[in-house]
Chain A
Amino acid sequence: MEINRRDFLKVLGATGASALAGCASEAPERLIPYLIPPEEVIPGQALWYASTCRECPAGCGVLVKVREGRAIKVEGNPEHPVNRGKLCARGQASPQGLYNPDRVRQPLRRDASGKLQPISWDDAEKFLAESLDAVRGRGLARQIALVTPLLTGSLDRLIADWLKALGSQRHLRYEPFAYEPLRAASKICFDRDTVPSYRLGESKLILSFGADFLESWISPVEFAREFSKSRSPRDGEMGRFIYVGPRYSLTAANADEWVSVRPGTELFLALGMIHVIVEQGLAASAPQDLTAEIRTLVRAHDPKAVAARTGVAAEKIVRLARDFAAQKPAVALGGGIASSGSNAQATAVAIHLLDYLTGNMGRTVRFDTASSLGQLSSYGDLVSLVQSMARGEIQALFLHNVNPLFTLPQSVGFAQAMKKVPLVVSFSSFMDETAADAHLVLPDHTPLESWGDYSPREGVIGLMQPAMRPLFDTKGLGDLLISVAKKMEGEMAKRFPWASFYDYLRDQWKEIQRRFDPQKEFKDFWDEALQRGGVWKESRTEAVRLNGRAISSLRSQIQEANLTGDGDKPFYLSLYPSLSHFDGRGANRPWLQELPDPMTSIVWGNWLELHAETAKRLQLRDGDVVSVASPYGKIELPARLSETIRPDVVAIPIGQGHSNFGRFGSAVGANPIHLLSAGADPQSGALPWLSVKVMLAKTGRRQPLVSVAGSENQQGREIAQAISLAELREGEKTEEEEVKQIYAPHEHPKHRWGMAIDLNACTGCNACVVACYAENNLPVVGKEQVAKGREMSWIQIQRYVDEGRENPQSAIRNPKFIFLPMLCQQCDAAPCESVCPIYATYHTPDGLNAQVYNRCVGVRYCANNCPYKVRRFNWFEYDWPEPLNSQLNPDVTVRSVGIMEKCTFCVQRIREVENRAKAEGRKIKDGEIVPACAQTCPTEAIVFGDLKEPESRVAKLSHDPRRYRVLEHLNTQPAVTYLKKVKNG
C-alpha cells in the first residue's frame, strides 16, 4: 500500500540510541528506526541548513547544524555578505531561544478569572476571526494595530496586505534602537531616509561619536570584521581609531584614544572640528554655494568656546580636526544609542557634515544600499499609538516579538493604555511582561523553526528556512494570518488564497527571481537560494549631494542635550545596550546571563557604573545597593566603581530587570529604561536615551556583584603584551629560543595542532565564549556558583591593563586594555600531565593535551598545577532543563559530577575531519579544521592549524615577529602562540 511520504515524515524518528536518563543498567537502550528514511539524512552525520539570524536587525546569515532532526549549533554563513561566516555572541545563543524551557508551548487564552488557559489553534483562530469581523462590522477597522520588530520582505508584506485588507493602516515596525536621529539627519542632508553604510575597513581614521559598533550599533559583526581590517598593521601602517564619549565602552577600549566629552555636547565637538577644518582650509569637498553658510554656522564654535562646553581641551579639538581632515579616507560615526539626547539629530547632521567636508561621503560613508532600518517606525509613532490606545481608540492590538512593557519607559503609560484595548493578542514565543498581560497568546515559531526572509539592506535578501520541525504546538505568524483570513467573512478569504505562508513566500520569491536572475528556472533559483541562504548582488556607488536645508536646520538646533532632573548634584544618566542582552531580548538565555560583560566581567546582573571618586564621596563601595531616582522613576542597583567614566556621569546597561521572562531572565537586575522621560524628539521621533539626570542615594543594603575577573592589573606578569607600531616597524625580531628540556620532546608523527591568537584583532566581544558553550556542552552553573569561581567556560576573555600605558593626566584616565582569550594552552611540557595519578590527562601524539573524562576520578591535582588556571571541575551534577538538553552536541561527552574538563581544541571536529580526509584518501587542508571559537570570531583573531605544515597559517604566525607565549618563563611550551597587540603611536 502506498503511504504518503509527507504523512510519515510527521513521525519524528531517528536511528540511534535514545538517550536514557538516570542510571545505565536498568532499562535497556532502544534503537528507534525511521518509518521512511529521508533521503538526505545519514544518522550520525550532520546536515546544515542556511537561514538568517533574527536576534537583531543586522540580519547575519547563518548555517544551522542539525543532527537527527535537532538543531544543535548556529554558525555564520560564509557566503552571506553581512557577516561572511562569523556570528556574534547573541547569534550563537539563538538555540537557547529555540530550546528555552520557558517557551509558550501552545496557544493560550485568558479566561474569565484572568488566567491564561490553553486552547486549540482552531478555536483561537475562530475567536480571532470573529473578533476582527466584529470590529470591522462596527466600522472600526482603522483601529486595529499590529506592532512587529523590523521585518522586511515576505512576512512584512503579508502583514501590510493583511492589515490593508482589514481596513487598517496601523502597521508599526518597532525596534527600541531605531537610529531615528541618524535617519533624519541622512534625510535632511542627502534626501535619503535611511542609515548609511560605512566602510570601516578602508578607513585610515575612524572617529566614533559614541557609536558602539563593536557591540550593538547597527551591524556589529560586519563592523568588527571591517574594523580589524583597518587595524591590522600593514607596511608599518595601521588605521587609527578615536572614540568620543562620556563612558569607556568596549568599543572605546579598542580605540587608540578616548576623548571624554560631557554628555550631550558631542554636537559642539563636531562643530568645533568643522570650524577648524573650514577656517584652516582643510575641507576636501565643499559645495561652493554652501561654503559661506557653513562658515557662518560654525563661526561661534571655535575651539576655545567648544572646549568650555565639552570639557575637551582646545588643542585636542584642533588636533582631532586636523588629523581627521588629513587622513584619507577617514570616517566619522554617530547615532550611538547612549549618546542620543534631545540634540541627537543635530549631532548626526553635524557628523554627516564632517564626513562630507572631508570628502568621505561616497567613500567610507555610502548610501548606495539603503539600510532596512529606514523602514522602521519611530519611537514617536509608537507613542502616538499608545496615546490612541489610552483614548480608547484601538480595538485590537497585535504584538509580534516586541516587549513594550519592558522597552518603553514607564512614563509612556503603555501598561495603563493596554488595559483600554479590548483585544490584545501576543505572538510572542516567550511569556514576557507584555505577553503576560495579553488576552490571547498565540505563540509564533522561533526563527530557527520558521520560513521567511530578511533583508538588512538593499541588495541583500537572506532566506530563512526551518532547521527542524516545530518543537511545540506553535504556529508561524504568516500561516496564522492566512488561516485567520480564511475564517473571516467577506473578501478576506479570497485575498489570501495561499495554503500556507510557505507558498506565499515562494510566490514572493518568484518576483525576486525576476529581479535577480530572470533567465533561470524558478525551481533552480529557489533551490540555489535555499542552499546559499539568500540572494545578494553588488551595489552601485551613488554620489550624494549635500542639501542646503541641512545647514539651516542645524542652525536652529544647536544646543546641548536637554536633560531633565535637576536636584542637588545630579548625575547624567547614560544608558547603553548591553552586549549580551541587547534591548532585553537575550535575558532569558542562560548562556547570555552567564556571559561576562567584557568591561566588568560581571554575570547574572546589572549595575550602576560610577566613578571611584564619586563613590568615595557618597561612601559607596562595590556592591552597595544604590537607589537611582529620576523625575520619572526609581530603581535600585548595586554600584560598580570605575576609573573610566566621567565623574559626573553614571551608566547602566540596558537589558536586565525583567519582572517576567522565564526562570533565567526574571528578577535579575533592574530595568533602567523606566528612569527615562517619555517624550519623543519632535523632529526625528526618537526616544532620547540621554534624557535625564539622576540622584543617587545609599540604601545601606548590599548585593555583591558576581564577576569572573581576577585582577585587571598584570603586576609585572607580562601575560597580555603589546608592542608599539614603531617597534614593529623596526622589525625587532625575537630570536627563536631554544627549548630547554630535561626530557626528550614529544614526537608528533603526523600532525601537531596549534593555535595563534592575535591580540590586536581581538575586540573582546566574547562571541567565542558562547560558541564554545554551544559546541562543547558546557553547563551553566548559575549566579551563586559563579560567585564561588566555579564558572565552566573553557575559553575566557580576560581583560588586562596594558602595562606600558601612559600615566593618567587627569581624573579621566585612558588605560588601554588588552583582551586576552585564555584557553587551555595544550602545553607540550604540560604541568598537569605529569601529576595526574591515573593518566586521565596525557599528551596525544598530535600535540593535544587530552582529558579523558571517563578516566578522571577528580583528584584535582591537574587544576592546581595548571599555571594558566584553565581547567574546570564539575563540582556538581549540572542539568539542562528540558528541552535545553536537545541542544547538546552528541559528539561531545556530557560530563558528570567529579570530573575535570577543559578546552580540547574541539577534538571532535579534528577527529571528524581526520576521518573524512582518510575516508576520501587525501590530506587535510589548512583551514579545514576550525574549532568553534575560531569559527565564529568576527575578526579572525583565532587561527588553528597544523604546526607541522610549514605552509599553514598557524605555523607562519607562530614565527611572526609579534609572537610570544603567555608565562613563557615556565617553559610549558604551549601550542598557543599569541601575537602582541599593536599600539598605535
Chain B
Amino acid sequence: MTRTAKIFAGLVLFVVLVLTGIMFAAYGRANAPEQPIKFSHKVHAGDFGIACEYCHSYARRSTVAGVPSVARCMGCHKVTALDKPEVKKLADYWNRKEPIPWVKVFDQPDFVYFSHQPHIAKGIACQSCHGAVEQMEKVREAVVVNMARCVNCHMEKKASIDCWTCHK
C-alpha cells in the first residue's frame, strides 16, 4: 500500500471510530436498568391485558402519567400470586410503609416539559413512544425519544413546533 493510501485509510478509520463513539453516546441508551422489584409488563399488560392507564392513571389528566401507588399493586396482590418472591418483596414494602423506588427509564432533561395529557387526548398510543412495553419482561428504552423524534412527529401531525411549547 502506498504511503498516501495508508494515511487515507488511517483517517477513514479514525473518522469511523469517532462517529461510532458519538452514535454510541447518543443512542446507546437502550438501557434496561435493574428495578427494585422485577415487575414484568409482559405478564401484567401482555398476558393479563391490564390497560396502561389502570396503573399509570394520570396520563389522561396531567403532565405526568404517574407510577402506580403501592396500594394499587396491593389491590390485586393482597390475594394473588402471594408465593412469588417478587410479590413478597412488594408486600414487604407495603408492610414497611415504604414506597418502591422505581428507576426511571424514560427520562427527559429538566428543561423539557412534556405533557402526557394532550398526547393521550390526540389518541396517540403509549407504544409509539414507549415501545411495545406489553412485551417487555424488563422495561427498556426501546424507542429513543430525543428531540428529533418529537419534532418530526410534531411536524407530521401539524402540532406546534414553537420552542416554547416544550422548553418554557
Contacts and interface: CB of A to CB of B under 8 A. Distances in A.
- Chains A and B in contact, CB within 8 Å: yes
Contact of B99 (A28, A32, A911, A919): A32
Interface string A668-700: 000000000000000000000000000000000
B69 A36 contact: yes
Given A44-B63, A852-B164, A35 B109 contact: no
Contacts of B102: 30-33
Interface string A127-142: 0000000000000000
B163 A842 contact: yes
A904 B111 CA distance: 15
Interface stretch (B5-13, B81-89, B115-123, B130-138): B115-123
A919 B111 CA distance: 23
A28 B66 contact: no
A44 B58 contact: yes
A43 B62 contact: yes
B62 A42 contact: yes
Given A15-B58, A15-B64, A42-B61, A28 B103 contact: yes
Contact of A30 (B58, B103, B110, B167): B103
Nearest to A38: B69
Interface in B64-106: 64, 66-71, 78, 94, 97-104
Contact of A43 (B58, B103, B107): B58
Overall SS of chain B's interface: loop
Contact of B104 (A17, A44, A854, A911): A17
B68 A853 contact: no
B104 A30 contact: yes
B62 A24 contact: no
A8 interface: yes
B14 interface: no
Nearest to B100: A33
Contacts of A31: 67, 101-104
Interface size on A, as a range, is 35 or more
B99 A894 contact: no
Contacts of A919: 117-118, 121
Contacts of A893: 110-111, 167-168
Contacts of B97: 3, 7-8, 11, 35
Contacts of B71: 34-37
B165 interface: yes
Overall SS of chain A's interface: loop
Given A37-B71, A919-B118, A32 B58 contact: no
Nearest to B29: A25
A7 to B, nearest CB: 7
Interface string A1-45: 101000110010101110000001000111111111100001111
A107 to B, nearest CB: 26
A28 B61 CA distance: 26
Given A43-B62, A893-B110, A915-B117, A852 B167 contact: yes
B113 interface: yes
B162 interface: yes
B64 A16 contact: yes
Contacts of B49: none
B164 to A, nearest CB: 4
B168 to A, nearest CB: 5
A31 B107 CA distance: 10
Contacts of B167: 852-855, 893
A908 interface: yes
Interface of B: 33, 58, 61-64, 66-71, 78, 94, 97-104, 107, 109-111, 113, 115, 117-118, 121, 160, 162-165, 167-168
Given A35-B70, A36-B71, 10 more contacts: A11-B97, A15-B67, A29-B103, A32-B101, A33-B70, A44-B63, A844-B162, A853-B167, A894-B110, A919-B118
- Closest CB pairs A-B (n = 4): A44-B62, A44-B63, A34-B69, A854-B111
20 contacts: A11-B97, A11-B99, A13-B69, A15-B66, A28-B103, A29-B104, A32-B101, A33-B68, A33-B100, A844-B162, A850-B164, A855-B163, A891-B113, A891-B168, A894-B110, A908-B168, A911-B164, A915-B115, A915-B118, A919-B121
